[in-house]
Chain A
Amino acid sequence: MRATSRDETDVLVIGAGAGGAAVSKRLSDGGIRVICLEQGDWVNPMERPHMYDSWELERVRSWDWRGNVRQAPEDYPVTGNAAPMMMSGVGGATLLYAGAWPRFKPVDFRKGTEHGVEGTIDWPISYEELEPFYTINDAELAVARRVGDPGNPPRPDGWGPATKGGSLGNLVGAGFNKLGWHWWPADNAILTHDREARLACNDCGFCLSGCTRGSIASADVTYWPRALNNGVDLRTNARVERINVRAGKATGATYIDRLSGQRHEITAKIVVMAANAIGTPRLLLMSAQAGHPDGLANSNGMVGRHLMFHSWAADDFWFDRPLEGFKGVETAVAYSQQFYNTDSSRGFVNGFSLQVGTSLGAANSALGTNTGRRAPWGKDHRDYFANHFGRHALIQVQGEDLPVATNRVTLDRDVVDSSGLPAPHVHYEVHDNDRRLVEWGRTKALEAAHAAGNVVDTATTGVRGLSEPAPGWHIMGTCRMGNTPEDSVTNKWNQTWDVPNLFITDASSLTTGAAVNPTSTLQAVAVRAAEYIKHRFTDIVSQSVTPGNADAPTM
């Protein structure tokens, strides 16, 4: 292999998704020179399916959330027993996420203290330490929020009010009230007022293929325009082959231009990984080299381990009245966190959120809504459709899954991407604890539905979620931050224990996964790491050994 060109920068960021975009923008605010490498490309709003009559079909075709199904040239194959939600492009998986924006709770940072099952450890930071960065990030994205949730610490006003509840939200909310359970309208990273070139949400009901209006806060319409204005050098179609290291320090990376096939080398004083919780361990493992025979930052064998997906069940409920679930935000109308904390008398540790969602359009209704319960063909089709379409509410059990060491990402050298690089192999099994958690949670979802109204039909995915063994919508934990070089891959500043100028700022770094959508937290962690690098750049560059959490320079 011979690099054919060289460039030099202060910080090299790998991946232009949620974490990479936040880091690139925040660093460049401070005048730090940044090159960011992204193996995908920009997505034009007209490449989305929202205006096509076949929009519901495109969701399982060009906008399927699994790269293995899309099979686009920028996607890389994933082998193993799960096909997680991933996207390559400027914005990463935020290009097709729905912007659900809960925060982790204080207890989520102390799960080692609370129970410690399966070797669960505490985060090295607290909610209070992360909170300022949640707030910075929320402001960057313009989050929609109703303040006053009694089930969470106070949060600042949003850019606009919460997204609308619709008939569905009001019905299920009234049901939670009848039971005396906690609930609240979901925070969403979706505009409810216009902001610059982004338009407010018009409640189109179709969020999980991104947003043609820029209402959903995908990184391509939030951080990236400002980062580019700051002078960040964003290189698309640039697939990283290896992180380069010399004398214990990262020196940069080698990438392949996917369009020309040419290799290029970037040298940098600091390298930041933000390639998602599968792509980052994949690349670290691919970067085995002299002095790092098992991959970078992997002297303790932890890179790729502790993969978390959340444990899920999706339960569809059909009512005897119109609910018009084809309107509004798709995945997070409201949530109940009544059963969030560990109560071991239930037969499991950890807890769950009940997340209330919607149901898309007429075709999706005939095709089984969220649980695959299809309308029958033939003479019974018409009645089934009439009694189900537009009368539906989704209540998902979103459980915290344990960080199990054997749930992991490794390399599969028998399968390669379009550049000839080995595929990641994913192995994930639902833990017995998490299976019991979801089964118990399903009884609570059913209770909530019956409290809300007259349920005429139900269907469920069961514990498996939307695909066996779990949907993998949220991929987390494979390079976790921790307390010692023995229990984790990075210190509390996202600095890898083995290579002091190598940082990890995607969901790989999440120590535990909580029972809520993770993007707000991973991005807050990324902002925090960026601010640290910005303030301590000279210190970091001069370090030959990664400091322990107690010894590291403060912000």
Chain B
Amino acid sequence: MDIILKRNTPHRAIRDESMKPPMGGWLPGITFTSLQIRTLNAFVDQLIPPGGGFPAPSEVDVVAFFARYLAPAGVEPKWYPFIGENQFRSWLDSLGGAFAQAESAEQLEIVASVERSNPGFFEIVRDMAYYAYYSRSAVITTINRELEAGKDLRNAPQPYGYSDTTEEWDERLFGQITGSYTRTEDVRRVEIPDVLRGTSSKGTEE
């Protein structure tokens, strides 16, 4: 059937939203087994150790963030972090219960071995851990408390923004500024050494 569009009015055809990644991740998120949760928590706690007043990732539920952003089974993992549920579960299962129960030093060595043996996958897990950890309200609150540079940080840019605490321009700066520009009628040929005139790009055609 031909769709004849009316002027300036949205047409009735329905957009297929499954063709785009859902903002905020897939809700309600995948459900990990209790062992998978312990394993993931142990892993991310090695990546971002607690200290200086900051909580451990396992204390602020970074697992829930992973659960939203891993592509659920049946959905192609075509968007960041480019990892699907089944692949991630398999990886956690491969670490096994021994990892979750190991001493910290042993866990550290295993994390380092993952980095060496599968750097691409490790990089994504590490980056996801950073995205997750620094999105948690408890961590933002800690930044507010512990870091002078972060005392005003909020959990998201909107709706509040930062106009209440953003510094205005220091008017004293403007009396010192110098500058000039070349008027159209004053543009002249500049002396170009042959070495500059002769340079070129690789000049390859594809």
Closest to A436 in B: B199
Task: Report whether A429 and B201 are in contact in the complex, using a CB–CB cutoff of 8 Å.
Answer: yes
- CB contacts (< 8 Å) of B131 on chain A: these are 54, 56-57, 363, 367
State the Cβ distance, B201 to closest chain A Cβ, in Å: 4
- Which of A327, A338, A406 contacts B152 (CB under 8 A)? A327
Bound CA span A431–B146, Å:
47
Asked if B143 is an interface residue, CB under 8 A from chain A, the answer is yes
- The 10 listed contacts between A and B (C-beta, < 8 Å) are A118-B201, A169-B169, A173-B173, A182-B180, A260-B1, A344-B192, A362-B139, A382-B49, A386-B146, A389-B143
- CB contacts (< 8 Å) of B178 on chain A: these are 150, 180-182
Task: Report whether B51 and A382 are in contact in the complex, using a CB–CB cutoff of 8 Å.
Answer: yes
A298-323 vs B, CB cutoff 8 Å, 1 = contact: the mask equals 00000000000000000000000011
Given the known inter-chain contacts A202-B160, A203-B166, A327-B152, please indicate yes or no for A182 contacting B3, CB distance below 8 A.
Answer: no
Task: Report whether B167 and A378 are in contact in the complex, using a CB–CB cutoff of 8 Å.
Answer: no
State the Cβ distance, B69 to closest chain A Cβ, in Å: 7
Task: Report whether B182 and A170 are in contact in the complex, using a CB–CB cutoff of 8 Å.
Answer: no
Closest to A164 in B: B166
Asked if B98 is an interface residue, CB under 8 A from chain A, the answer is no
Task: Report whether A62 and B158 are in contact in the complex, using a CB–CB cutoff of 8 Å.
Answer: no
Bound CA span A176–B173, Å:
10
- CB contacts (< 8 Å) of A323 on chain B: these are 149
Asked if A353 is an interface residue, CB under 8 A from chain B, the answer is no
Closest to B108 in A: A378
Task: Report whether A410 and B206 are in contact in the complex, using a CB–CB cutoff of 8 Å.
Answer: yes
- CB contacts (< 8 Å) of A180 on chain B: these are 178
Asked if A140 is an interface residue, CB under 8 A from chain B, the answer is no
Segment with Cβ contacts to A, from B19-27, B34-42, B89-97: B19-27
Closest to A170 in B: B170
**CB neighbors of B among A140-185 (8 A):** 146, 148-153, 162, 164-167, 169-170, 173-174, 176-177, 180-185
Task: Report whether B69 and A54 are in contact in the complex, using a CB–CB cutoff of 8 Å.
Answer: yes
- CB contacts (< 8 Å) of B49 on chain A: these are 378-379, 381-382
State the Cβ distance, B102 to closest chain A Cβ, in Å: 16
Asked if A361 is an interface residue, CB under 8 A from chain B, the answer is yes
Chain A residues within 8 Å of chain B by Cβ, number: 128
Asked if B74 is an interface residue, CB under 8 A from chain A, the answer is no
Asked if B52 is an interface residue, CB under 8 A from chain A, the answer is yes
Task: Report whether A5 and B48 are in contact in the complex, using a CB–CB cutoff of 8 Å.
Answer: no
Task: Report whether A107 and B156 are in contact in the complex, using a CB–CB cutoff of 8 Å.
Answer: no
B1-21 vs A, CB cutoff 8 Å, 1 = contact: the mask equals 111110110110111100111
Bound CA span A355–B112, Å:
39
Given the known inter-chain contacts A149-B179, A348-B196, A378-B46, please indicate yes or no for A107 contacting B24, CB distance below 8 A.
Answer: no
State the Cβ distance, B180 to closest chain A Cβ, in Å: 6
B113-131 vs A, CB cutoff 8 Å, 1 = contact: the mask equals 0000000000000110111
Task: Report whether B160 and A386 are in contact in the complex, using a CB–CB cutoff of 8 Å.
Answer: no
- CB contacts (< 8 Å) of A126 on chain B: these are 184
- CB contacts (< 8 Å) of B54 on chain A: these are 382
Task: Report whether A375 and B78 are in contact in the complex, using a CB–CB cutoff of 8 Å.
Answer: no
- Which of B21, B68, B187, B191 contacts A344 (CB under 8 A)? B191
- CB contacts (< 8 Å) of A166 on chain B: these are 166-167
Asked if B103 is an interface residue, CB under 8 A from chain A, the answer is no
Given the known inter-chain contacts A118-B200, A162-B169, A165-B169, please indicate yes or no for A324 contacting B180, CB distance below 8 A.
Answer: no
Given the known inter-chain contacts A105-B182, A152-B181, A363-B130, please indicate yes or no for A430 contacting B201, CB distance below 8 A.
Answer: yes
Bound CA span A20–B160, Å:
33
Given the known inter-chain contacts A4-B2, A117-B196, A391-B149, please indicate yes or no for A128 contacting B135, CB distance below 8 A.
Answer: no
Residues of A within 8 A of B (CB): 4-5, 41-42, 47, 49-58, 60-62, 64, 69-73, 80, 105-107, 109-110, 113-115, 117-118, 126-128, 146, 148-153, 162, 164-167, 169-170, 173-174, 176-177, 180-185, 201-206, 212-213, 228, 231-237, 257, 259-260, 262, 322-324, 326-328, 337-338, 340-344, 347-349, 361-363, 365-367, 374-375, 377-379, 381-382, 386, 389-391, 402, 404, 406-408, 410, 425, 427, 429-433
Task: Report whether B196 and A328 are in contact in the complex, using a CB–CB cutoff of 8 Å.
Answer: no
Task: Report whether A328 and B162 are in contact in the complex, using a CB–CB cutoff of 8 Å.
Answer: yes
Bound CA span A420–B52, Å:
56
Bound CA span A322–B203, Å:
46
Task: Report whether B173 and A106 are in contact in the complex, using a CB–CB cutoff of 8 Å.
Answer: no
- CB contacts (< 8 Å) of A42 on chain B: these are 10
- CB contacts (< 8 Å) of A57 on chain B: these are 69, 80, 131, 135
Asked if B33 is an interface residue, CB under 8 A from chain A, the answer is no
Closest to B205 in A: A406
Task: Report whether A174 and B173 are in contact in the complex, using a CB–CB cutoff of 8 Å.
Answer: yes
Closest to B146 in A: A386
Given the known inter-chain contacts A114-B187, A386-B52, A389-B147, please indicate yes or no for A406 contacting B203, CB distance below 8 A.
Answer: yes
Task: Report whether B166 and A151 are in contact in the complex, using a CB–CB cutoff of 8 Å.
Answer: no
Nearest 4 pairs of A and B residues by beta carbon = A390-B149, A202-B161, A151-B179, A182-B179
- CB contacts (< 8 Å) of B200 on chain A: these are 118, 404, 431-432
- CB contacts (< 8 Å) of B150 on chain A: these are 362, 389-390
State the Cβ distance, A87 to closest chain B Cβ, in Å: 13
Bound CA span A167–B153, Å:
14
Asked if B47 is an interface residue, CB under 8 A from chain A, the answer is yes
Task: Report whether A170 and B46 are in contact in the complex, using a CB–CB cutoff of 8 Å.
Answer: no
- CB contacts (< 8 Å) of B146 on chain A: these are 386
Asked if B28 is an interface residue, CB under 8 A from chain A, the answer is no
Given the known inter-chain contacts A165-B169, A348-B196, please indicate yes or no for A62 contacting B127, CB distance below 8 A.
Answer: no
